Each structure stands twice: as C-alpha cells, then as structure tokens.
C-alpha cells in the first residue's frame, strides 16, 4: 500500500499535495500497530520499505467501517442537532451537546462504500447480517479495545482521542486482522485535552442560558470557542471557507495553507509518539525513490509485462506466454480488451499504464486483423511486441505510421525478449540471461562427442 501525499475531502480530491502526509500516516500507523499487538494481530508484512509504503497481507475485507466515538462530534453531532435520536440503532438521550463526552464509547459502524459513494450508517443487526453474529461481536469488541488503547496513548501526550475508524480483514482460515491505517489524523479526530477542558465548560454554560438551539449556534456567536482538531477537518474547513460545494471545482489551497496542513500532520506524529519527525534525505523524486526501495527490499522486480488480448478464447496462448515469463522471473499480468469492440477501454488502459513508475513491456496477442498491437504501440510510452495466437499473422506488421510494435512468433522468444528489455533495470534479469546462455552452450559442448 502506498500512502500518497494526496488529500481528499467530501469525497473530492484536492489539487494540492500535502508534503510528508503519506509518510506521517504510515509512521503513526506503525506506532499504533506496535502498541496494539496484544489486542489483535495486524496485517503488516513489511513497514520499513519506504516512508510511503507498507506491505500488508492480502486479506478479505470485512466490508464494515468500524467507527468508535468517545464524544458527540463530527457527523453524529450534525445528525443529533437535526433531531436524530436513533443513530446506528443506538438510542441517544436528549440534552447532549456537541463536544460532550459519552459515558462509554459508542460503536457506530457504517458500510464501506465504493470510491466516490457515501458510507451509510449500520445497525448492529445489519452488521450481523453481513458478516455473521460471531464476527460482528468480535469486530465491536476489538474496535472498542483499540479505541481505548488509542485514548490511553493519546492522553499520555496531552491529547484527547475523540473518535476513530478501523477496518478489518480475514485470511483463508478465518483469522481476523486489523488492516489499512489506524489512529491517524485521516482516520481519527484528536484535540488538546487542555483546550477541551477550557472551552467545553464555557460551551455548556452558553447552552444552559437557553439562547441557543445547539452548539453550532453557540460557535457562530462565539467563534473563539471552536476547538482545534488534529484531523482532516482543517482541510474540510478550508474548502468550506472558500465556498466549495459538491459538484463545483475543488479550490486550490494557498502555499500557506499547504504548509499549515503539512505542519499539522507532522505535529500529530510528534505529539502522539513523543518522537521528532525525521525528514527524508534522499534527492530522488518520490516515484523513483519508491521504485528503488521496493526493488531493494525484493518486493518489486522493477519491471512488468502486460499481456493484452482481444478475446478470452486466446487464454491458453496467453498463459503459455506467462509460463515462459515465469522462467525468467519476469512479473506479468493478463488483460482482455478488444481494440475493435472496446476501443475506448483499451485507450484508457494504455493511458493508465503510461503512468507506471516502473518500466513495462506490452505484449499484443490478437488473431485475425490485429488492431490491438498497432493501437497499443501508438498510445503507449512503453515498447510493444506482438505474439499472435494464430501463428504467422502478418497483419500486426502492416500497421500505419506511428505504430512501432516488434514481432515474436514464439511465446518463449517473447519471454526472452522481455528479459532482455529489462536487463538494464535489474541485474537479476541480466544474470539470468547470461546463465541461460552458458547452460545452452555447455549442453552443446557436452553433446559434441569430438570436443
């Protein structure tokens, strides 16, 4: 998983990058994981690959956003002020204020919506229907324990752990893991205990005067009572102050706002962990640094082959190419996309691959009239080689100007061509080629009875 420096708010991505944001989230998550291993196992396989990278087990997501709230805050406070008293199946009493502490933390799960969609509140019964009663009970229990531990760690540093979100996954044996990120400013809200202890009594006193219907009105009349959050709320507030509304163009943050956002992320890390933030010293741009570190740790080979075909009927041929690539330890994956029937999808796929931070080779496999190879070689910034599934097919060699695909008739030759293409990227590929050639020559020498 790559934690980028991008920031989203209200399901919209902000044009600016926030320096160090991704690295800070990973560092806080590592701190939290290290301090909660006695509660539940986490999915981390490697967390020292790169500041922005964490490698986690591939697990089945439980499909529930497990939210725990210690205070009347955020979206729940908004619903409450509108008159809602049943939230996630919980009966919430009258007379509570925004920012008020609950007697006990509340488990308020939501759906895990697709990108761009909104999460919906869930009752415990709905969680049970989705994942089963035993797992639902476990999700609630572990979430509350993780929140309690997070609150204890934050309190030691003078911070109040307001609310947070956890995600979980299961392996093939049904073992439960906490996944993704935890206790970060993007998944949680925090504030200074001292500020809350100073301002909340004043807010409660204002509410007792009877002049205000809710705390939102109190804050409108007394903006100095607003409590500073360590969360993404700062960015959300900046957008609202700039007049942003869903459906409109997302405003660009000023340089000062970007610096303040970055400072707040780093400040949360230093406050939570008690450690000084270490700024990265590498001169490499982030994409090159990421790729170099992934290669250094053996997680990535620094190259990949995309085998593209126009029909799944060619799958035996595609799998034969992939099998030969495996002999050279060249990573690959298969895509089915017809140049004739899905031209837009093919162009979108090629544009997606053009953004790859690692070198690629595209293998075009199309029978009949091969438009796939020509289209791919025109749009791709990476080399394309044709290997038709129907044998000697000259159509891929007759593409118009601007099409530059190479041609290999045999799947094993495609595999060697790929290894040669990437031999300058990773010394492993170069050594495999040299070793393979030596073995073949030695075999010929041994077969020569008169040498």
Radius of gyration of the chain (CA): 28
CA distance linking residue 362 with residue 354, whole number of Å: 11
Q: Is 277 exposed, middle or buried (0-12, 13-18, 19+ CB in 10 A)?
A: middle
**Which residue do the tokens 């982030």 mark?**
286
CATH number given to 6-273: 3.30.470.20
pTM: 0.75
CA distance linking residue 3 with residue 22, whole number of Å: 4
The set of residues, in sequence order, having a beta carbon less than 8 Å from that of 392 and lying 6+ positions away, is 409
pLDDT value of position 451: 60
The set of residues, in sequence order, having a beta carbon less than 8 Å from that of 412 and lying 6+ positions away, is 324
CATH architecture of 304-437: 3-Layer(aba) Sandwich (3.40)
CA distance linking residue 199 with residue 190, whole number of Å: 15
Q: What is the mean pLDDT of residues 296-308?
A: 84
Distance (Å) of CA 30 to CA 15, 35, 48: 28, 9, 10
> Is 299 or 378 the better-scoring residue by pLDDT?
378
Asked if residue 324 lies in contact with residue 415, where contact means CB atoms within 8 angstroms, the answer is: yes
pLDDT value of position 1: 78
Q: What is the mean pLDDT of residues 23-41?
A: 96
Q: What is the mean pLDDT of residues 234-239?
A: 87
CA distance linking residue 385 with residue 362, whole number of Å: 6
Q: Quick one: tokens of 212?
A: 């205000």
- Dihedral (CA of 177, 183, 186, 189) sign: positive
pLDDT value of position 437: 82
220 — pLDDT class (breaks 50, 70, 90): very high
CA distance linking residue 70 with residue 154, whole number of Å: 13
pLDDT tens per residue across span 98-132: 999 999 999 999 998 665 567 899 999 999 999 99
pLDDT value of position 369: 84
Where are the strands (E) in 188-331, listed by range? 188-192, 304-309
Q: What is the mean pLDDT of residues 300-313?
A: 90
Residue 154 has pLDDT above 80, yes or no: yes
CA distance linking residue 346 with residue 376, whole number of Å: 8
The set of residues, in sequence order, having a beta carbon less than 8 Å from that of 434 and lying 6+ positions away, is none
Measure CA of the first residue to CA of the last residue in the chain; give whole Å.
55
Asked if residue 154 lies in contact with residue 272, where contact means CB atoms within 8 angstroms, the answer is: yes
Residue 74 has pLDDT above 80, yes or no: yes
283 — pLDDT class (breaks 50, 70, 90): low
Distance (Å) of CA 388 to CA 327, 333, 411, 422: 21, 17, 9, 22
Which stretch of 136-145, 226-235, 274-283, 349-358 has the lowest confidence by average pLDDT? 274-283
Residue 69 has pLDDT above 90, yes or no: yes
CA distance linking residue 148 with residue 68, whole number of Å: 10
CA distance linking residue 146 with residue 163, whole number of Å: 11
Q: What is the mean pLDDT of residues 132-147?
A: 98
φ/ψ (deg, to 5) at 65: -90, 110
**Half-sphere CA count of 133, side-chain side, radius 13 A:** 0
pLDDT tens per residue across span 170-191: 999 999 999 999 999 999 999 9
> Is 289 or 251 the better-scoring residue by pLDDT?
251
CA distance linking residue 445 with residue 451, whole number of Å: 7
Closest alpha carbon to 266 in 280, 283, 248: 280
Residue 291 has pLDDT above 80, yes or no: no
**Which residue do the tokens 């049904």 mark?**
174
Annotated domain spans of the chain: 6-273, 304-437
Mean confidence (pLDDT) of the chain = 91
pLDDT value of position 284: 66
Where are the strands (E) in 123-244, listed by range? 159-170, 176-179, 188-192
Residue 32 has pLDDT above 90, yes or no: yes
CA distance linking residue 335 with residue 309, whole number of Å: 6
Residue 270 has pLDDT above 60, yes or no: yes
pLDDT value of position 112: 83
Q: What is the mean pLDDT of residues 5-34?
A: 90
Asked if residue 321 lies in contact with residue 363, where contact means CB atoms within 8 angstroms, the answer is: yes
Asked if residue 386 lies in contact with residue 411, where contact means CB atoms within 8 angstroms, the answer is: no
pLDDT tens per residue across span 383-432: 999 999 988 888 878 877 878 899 999 999 999 999 999 998 888 889 99
φ/ψ (deg, to 5) at 319: -70, -30
Asked if residue 105 lies in contact with residue 70, where contact means CB atoms within 8 angstroms, the answer is: yes
């Amino acid at each position: 998983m790559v934690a980028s420096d991008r920031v989203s708010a209200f399901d919209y991505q902000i044009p600016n990058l926030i320096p160090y944001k991704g690295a800070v989230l990973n560092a806080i998550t590592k701190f939290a994981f290290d301090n909660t291993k006695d509660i539940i196992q986490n999915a981390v396989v490697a967390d020292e690959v790169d500041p922005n990278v964490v490698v986690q087990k591939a697990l089945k997501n439980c499909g529930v956003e497990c939210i725990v709230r210690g205070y009347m805050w955020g979206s729940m406070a908004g619903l409450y002020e509108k008159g809602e008293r049943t939230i996630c199946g919980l009966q919430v009493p009258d007379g509570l204020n925004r920012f008020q502490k609950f007697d006990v933390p509340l488990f308020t799960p939501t759906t895990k919506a697709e990108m761009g969609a909104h999460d919906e509140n869930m009752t415990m019964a709905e969680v049970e229907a989705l994942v089963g009663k035993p797992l639902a009970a476990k999700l609630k229990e572990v979430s509350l324990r993780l929140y309690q531990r997070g609150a204890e760690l934050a309190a030691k540093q003078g911070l109040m752990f307001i609310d947070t979100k956890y995600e979980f996954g299961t392996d093939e044996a049904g073992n439960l893991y906490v996944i993704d990120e935890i206790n970060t400013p993007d998944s949680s809200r925090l504030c200074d205990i001292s500020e809350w202890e100073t301002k909340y009594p004043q807010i409660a006193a204002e509410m007792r005067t009877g002049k205000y219907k809710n705390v939102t009105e109190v804050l409108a009349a007394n903006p100095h009572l607003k409590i500073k959050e360590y969360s993404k709320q700062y960015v959300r507030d900046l957008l609202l102050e700039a007049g942003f509304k869903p459906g409109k163009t997302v405003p660009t943050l000023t340089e000062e706002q970007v610096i303040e956002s970055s400072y707040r992320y780093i400040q949360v890390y230093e406050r939570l962990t008690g450690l000084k933030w270490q700024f990265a010293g590498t001169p490499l741009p982030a994409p090159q640094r990421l790729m170099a570190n992934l290669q250094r740790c053996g997680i990535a080979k620094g190259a990949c082959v995309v085998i593209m075909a126009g029909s799944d009927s060619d799958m035996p041929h595609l799998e034969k190419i992939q099998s030969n690539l495996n002999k050279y330890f060249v990573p690959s994956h298969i895509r089915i996309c017809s140049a004739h029937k899905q031209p837009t999808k093919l162009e979108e796929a090629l544009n997606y691959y053009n953004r790859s931070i690692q070198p690629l080779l595209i293998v075009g496999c199309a029978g009949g009239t091969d438009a796939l190879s020509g289209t791919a070689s025109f749009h791709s910034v990476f080399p394309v080689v044709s290997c038709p599934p129907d044998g000697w097919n000259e159509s891929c060699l007759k593409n118009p100007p601007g099409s530059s695909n190479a041609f290999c008739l045999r799947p094993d030759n495609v595999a060697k061509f790929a290894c040669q293409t990437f031999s300058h990227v990773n010394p492993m590929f170069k050594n495999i080629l040299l070793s393979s050639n030596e073995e073949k020559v030695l075999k010929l020498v041994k077969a020569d009875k008169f040498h």
